[in-house]
Chains A and B, each alone.
Chain A
Amino acid sequence: MVEELLIKNGVVYDPINGVKGEKKDICIRNGKIVEEVKNPKVIDAGGRVVMPGGVDIHAHIAGGKVNSGRLFRPEDGRKGLKAKTKLCRPESGYSVPNTFAVGYRYARMGYTFVMEPAMPPLAARHTHEELVDIPILDNAALPLIDNNWMTLEYVKSGDIDLLAAYIAWIIKATKGYGVKVVNPGGTEAWAWAKNCDLNDAVPYFDVTPADIVKGLAEANERFEMPHSIHVHGNMLGHPGNYEVTLKTYDLVKGITPYRDRPVLHSTHTQFFSYGGTTWRDFESKARAIADYVNANEHVSIDLGSVILGDTTTMTADGPMEYSLYQITGRKWTNHDVELETGSGITPFMYSGKVGVHTIQWAIGLELALLTRDPWKIALTSDHPNAGPFIGYPILISMLMSKKRRDESAEEMHSSIFDRTELPSIDREYDFYEIAIITRAMTARTLGLHEHGKGHLGVGADGDVAIYDISPEERDAGKIQKAFLNAKYTIKGGEIVVKDGEVVSTPEGRTFFVTPECDPKLTDEMMTKLKEMFTNYYSVSFANYPVQDAYVPNPYEIRAPWRS
C-alpha cells in the first residue's frame, strides 16, 4: 500500500532550499518528500510554523559514559518519571534520561536525528546497543580517535597517509561517522596525571596537541568525508582559554576541504571562549571567537549554551572533570580506556546567582548573537554538560526575545553587566534563523543534507516538525512552549508525535561512514596495528570490530579516497 501524507497550510521554513516562511504544501509518499500526492491523509497545519525534522549535531545520549552517569546519579533518575503506556516504555531522568526518554523527548521537540559525539572505540558495541534502544531517532556516533596510540605514533612520524588508513579502519571497525577529537594529547597525558596545553609535549609520545589536530584534519580530508573533524580542543573550561581556541582554529586554516564545508567543527564553543586568568577575573571572550568565525570560512561552531540548573557533566576530557570535581567537592568518577581515551563524570549546578555561571550562560547566547552568519552555528547545550537537551526551547526563546534576555539578566548575578556584552546586544533570531541552527546548518555540516536530512526538498526524508505557533508570534513563553511539544512530528512519513504526545515509535536508523582507503596503505598500517593489538590491547584484533548485528537499521555513506 502506498502511504501518502499531505501537510497543508503550513508556513514553511526550509533554509537549505531557501524557503523562508512561505505558505506551501508538503507532500510525502513512502517516507520521502515528493512533488505531489494523489490520495493522501491530510494534515491541516493551519498557518503554523513548519520545519524539517530537527538535527542535533552534538548530544551525549548513548554509551558507557552516559550509562555510568545514569548509574551514579539515582537522584537524577527520580526526575522526569513517566509511567509506561500501551505504546511507550517508561521514562526517567532529567540530565541523564534513559534511552526511551531520549527518543520520546527529542521527538516531542520535533527532532528526528541526533549525533552521539563521543564513542570510545573499545566501547563501540555498548554505544550501538544504546542507540538501538533509543526509539524514533535516526542517529550516528563519532569515535574518539585523537588520543589513540596509533594516532599519536603516526602524528609523531608525520605519516598522514598511514594516519588516514588508521582512521578509515577505526571508523569502519566502530561503525562510526567521523573523527572526534577531545582534549587531544591531554586525555593521554591524564593517564600520567598530567594535562596538555596546545603546544605541550604529550608524555612519552613527544608530539603536541597542535600536531594531532593538524594531522587529523589533513588525514580526514584524504577522503570524501561528509563531516569535518569534530573538535573539543585543549584547556576546556579554563579561564583565558580563548587564545588556545583561536590558535587551534588557525592550525587548520590552510587545509582544503574536499567539498564546500569547514575543515574543523568546534564543539560546545562556550566552554572555549573564556577570558581572564583565574575565576576571579573571569570574563567573556565570545566577541573574539565570533569575530574569528565571522572572518573565516574554515570553522563552524556549536554553542554548548548553558541551561541553568542541575546537570551531569561527562566527557572524555578526564583532567577537566577532575578540576571540576575539585571545585565542587561533589562525587566524581574517572575511567581509562586502555590505549584509546578516558573519561570523567561529575554533577554540576549552574546557578544564575553565581558570577562565573552567569558569565558562562551569557557566553553561549553571545556566540549565537555575535556570529553574523547562522550557517556557521549550531544550537547545542553539549547535552548534558551545559544542561540537558530538554532545555533547547528555553535557548530558542532567549535567542528570539531580547525582552526575555533582559528580564533574565535582571535576576542574575551582576557580572552579566560588566563581564559580558550580552545586555547590549539587540539582535533577535527569527524562525528562519532558528531553523538554520537547529536543522539546516547541522545537517549540512554533517553532510546529511545529501542523505535526506535537514530539508524538505523533493527526495528528502519525510521528517517534518509542525509547531503550534504563528510565524508572527514574539512572546518568549509561547515560543518556548511550542518548541517543547510539537503539534506534529513526522518521521519518515509516519506521524510519531501529535499534540505533544508520542503516538508511534518506529525504530531509528544508524548512519555510518565507510572511508575507502588505498589498499597498499591499509596493508602497511595493518602490520603496525596488529602488533599494537598483540602487545597492548586487552581484546584480540579479530574480536574488535563491531559486527553488523549491532546496527540492525544501517545507512551507509561511502567516503572514497581522494587520490
Chain B
Amino acid sequence: MEELKMQTIRLRLKEEVMSGVAKIPVIVDALTPDKLFGKSEAEIKGVKIWWGNREENTGDLFEVSVEGDATSEAEVKIVMDGDLSRVKYIGAGMKAGEIEANGDVDMHCGAMMRGGKITVRGNADCWAGCEMHGGELIIEGDAGANLCAMYRGEMTGMTGGRVVVGGNVSECAGQYMAGGEILIKGNADILAGLNMKGGKITIEGDAIMPGADMTGGEILVKGKVEDMIPSFKFVETTTVDGEQYRKYIGDLAMTEKRAKGILYVK
C-alpha cells in the first residue's frame, strides 16, 4: 500500500496582533492549502496578507512551522491556533487540502470554496460557506447569519459541497442556495432557505419561517416550525428516514408555476 504523505503547516496568531485596544482584523484568503503548497517555511512567512488596511508578511502576524512534505495540494493541512475571532476569510476560495481552525473564527470562513475540508472547532461568524461550490465545511459550534448564502445583490448562493453546523445558525441560512447540502444540528433562526432554488437543508432543531420565496430544493425540519409561511401547499403525509412528515410545496408567493420547493415539517 502506498504511504499517504501529509504536510502540516501550523499557523499560530501572535498574541500581540490581537492585543490592541481594538482588534484589527486579519484577512487570510492567501493562506489556503492550494496556495501554500510547494512553499518553504520561509516563503510562507513572506506571503502577503492584510491586517486592517496594511499589507503584512504572514510571518509577522503568525508563528509559522511546517512539518512533513506534500506531493499534492490535497496533502497539505493547515492548523490555525490562537485568537482567531477577528481572522476573516479562513479557507476562502480554497480548492483542496485541509484547514483546521481551533477556536471561534470571524466572517467569510470557507466562502467561495471549491474543494478540500475546513473544520472550525468553535463558532463561525456571518457569511460562512457563502457562494460555496464544493468541498466540506464543518462548524462545531454555532454559525452566524447568511451561512452558505450569496453576497449582496447576487442571485445564486451555495451551489455545491457539504456543510455541517453542530450548533445553531442565525438568519437567512442558505439564501439563494442552488445546490449542495447543509446539516444544522441545532435551531435555525428566521428565513432559512430564503429564495432557495436547489440543494438540501436539514434542520434537526426548530426553525422560524423556513423556505420563504423558495422555488426549488428541499428543506427538512425535525423540530418545530414557528410562523410557517402560509403560501405553502400541503401535499401528503410521508415517511422520511423512518419518521413521519407533512410534505408541502412552495412558495406559491413566487407564482404557482415557479413554486417547486419542498418543505418537510413534522
- Select B151's contact among A72, A78, A83, A84, beta carbons within 8 Å: A78
* Interface set, chain B 34-49, CB cutoff 8 A to A: none
What B residues does A73 contact at CB under 8 A?
A: 153
What A residues does B55 contact at CB under 8 A?
A: 83
Q: At the interface, yes or no: A146 with Cβ under 8 Å from chain B?
A: no
CA distance A479 to B188 in the complex (A): 54
Interface SS of B by simple majority: loop
What B residues does A76 contact at CB under 8 A?
A: 153
What B residues does A74 contact at CB under 8 A?
A: 151-153
CA distance A76 to B153 in the complex (A): 8
Q: List 7 A-B contacts (CB under 8 A).
A: A72-B153, A74-B152, A74-B153, A75-B151, A75-B154, A83-B55, A84-B53
1/0 per residue B114-158: CB within 8 Å of A?
000000000000000000000000000000000000011111000
CA distance A330 to B152 in the complex (A): 14
B153 — nearest CB in chain A belongs to which residue?
A75
* Most chain A CB within a 10 A radius of its CB, from B50, B55, B151: B151
| Apart from A74-B151, A74-B152: 11 A-B pairs, beta carbons within 8 A | A73-B153, A74-B153, A75-B151, A75-B152, A75-B153, A75-B154, A78-B151, A83-B50, A83-B55, A84-B53, A330-B155
Tally of A-B Cβ pairs under 8 angstroms = 15
1/0 per residue A59-97: CB within 8 Å of B?
000000000000011111010000110000000000000
1/0 per residue B152-171: CB within 8 Å of A?
11110000000000000000
1/0 per residue A362-383: CB within 8 Å of B?
0000000000000000000000
CA distance A75 to B154 in the complex (A): 6
What B residues does A83 contact at CB under 8 A?
A: 50, 55
B-to-A contact residues, CB < 8 Å: 50, 53, 55, 151-155
CA distance A330 to B153 in the complex (A): 11
* Interface set, chain A 39-77, CB cutoff 8 A to B: 72-76
9 tightest CB-CB pairs across the interface, nearest first? A75-B153, A74-B153, A74-B152, A75-B154, A73-B153, A78-B151, A75-B151, A75-B152, A74-B151
A75 — nearest CB in chain B belongs to which residue?
B153
CA distance A83 to B27 in the complex (A): 13
CA distance A83 to B154 in the complex (A): 22
CA distance A78 to B50 in the complex (A): 17
A73 — nearest CB in chain B belongs to which residue?
B153
B150 — nearest CB in chain A belongs to which residue?
A75
Measured CB to CB, the closest approach of chain B to A95, in angstroms, equals: 12
**Chain A: interface residue count, which band?**
under 10
What B residues does A78 contact at CB under 8 A?
A: 151
* Interface set, chain A 309-350, CB cutoff 8 A to B: 330
A76 — nearest CB in chain B belongs to which residue?
B153
Measured CB to CB, the closest approach of chain A to B259, in angstroms, equals: 16
CA distance A74 to B154 in the complex (A): 8
Measured CB to CB, the closest approach of chain B to A405, in angstroms, equals: 32
What B residues does A72 contact at CB under 8 A?
A: 153
What A residues does B152 contact at CB under 8 A?
A: 74-75
A72 — nearest CB in chain B belongs to which residue?
B153
* Most chain B CB within a 10 A radius of its CB, from A75, A83, A330: A75
* Interface set, chain A 444-497, CB cutoff 8 A to B: none
CA distance A330 to B53 in the complex (A): 35
* Most chain A CB within a 10 A radius of its CB, from B55, B153, B154: B153
CA distance A74 to B153 in the complex (A): 6
What A residues does B155 contact at CB under 8 A?
A: 330
What A residues does B153 contact at CB under 8 A?
A: 72-76
What B residues does A84 contact at CB under 8 A?
A: 53
A330 — nearest CB in chain B belongs to which residue?
B155
Measured CB to CB, the closest approach of chain B to A309, in angstroms, equals: 15
CA distance A140 to B261 in the complex (A): 52
B154 — nearest CB in chain A belongs to which residue?
A75
What A residues does B154 contact at CB under 8 A?
A: 75
What A residues does B50 contact at CB under 8 A?
A: 83
CA distance A37 to B154 in the complex (A): 55
CA distance A73 to B153 in the complex (A): 6
CA distance A76 to B151 in the complex (A): 11
Measured CB to CB, the closest approach of chain A to B159, in angstroms, equals: 15
CA distance A89 to B153 in the complex (A): 24
CA distance A75 to B153 in the complex (A): 5
Measured CB to CB, the closest approach of chain B to A148, in angstroms, equals: 34
CA distance A78 to B130 in the complex (A): 14
CA distance A84 to B153 in the complex (A): 24
What B residues does A330 contact at CB under 8 A?
A: 155
Measured CB to CB, the closest approach of chain B to A92, in angstroms, equals: 13
CA distance A421 to B155 in the complex (A): 36
CA distance A319 to B153 in the complex (A): 24
CA distance A330 to B154 in the complex (A): 11
Measured CB to CB, the closest approach of chain A to B206, in angstroms, equals: 32
Measured CB to CB, the closest approach of chain B to A517, in angstroms, equals: 46
CA distance A74 to B53 in the complex (A): 21
CA distance A433 to B153 in the complex (A): 40
A347 — nearest CB in chain B belongs to which residue?
B153
CA distance A72 to B152 in the complex (A): 10
What A residues does B151 contact at CB under 8 A?
A: 74-75, 78
CA distance A75 to B155 in the complex (A): 9
Measured CB to CB, the closest approach of chain A to B28, in angstroms, equals: 16
Measured CB to CB, the closest approach of chain B to A41, in angstroms, equals: 32
What A residues does B53 contact at CB under 8 A?
A: 84
CA distance A330 to B156 in the complex (A): 13
B50 — nearest CB in chain A belongs to which residue?
A83
CA distance A83 to B50 in the complex (A): 10
A331 — nearest CB in chain B belongs to which residue?
B153
Measured CB to CB, the closest approach of chain A to B134, in angstroms, equals: 20
Measured CB to CB, the closest approach of chain A to B65, in angstroms, equals: 29
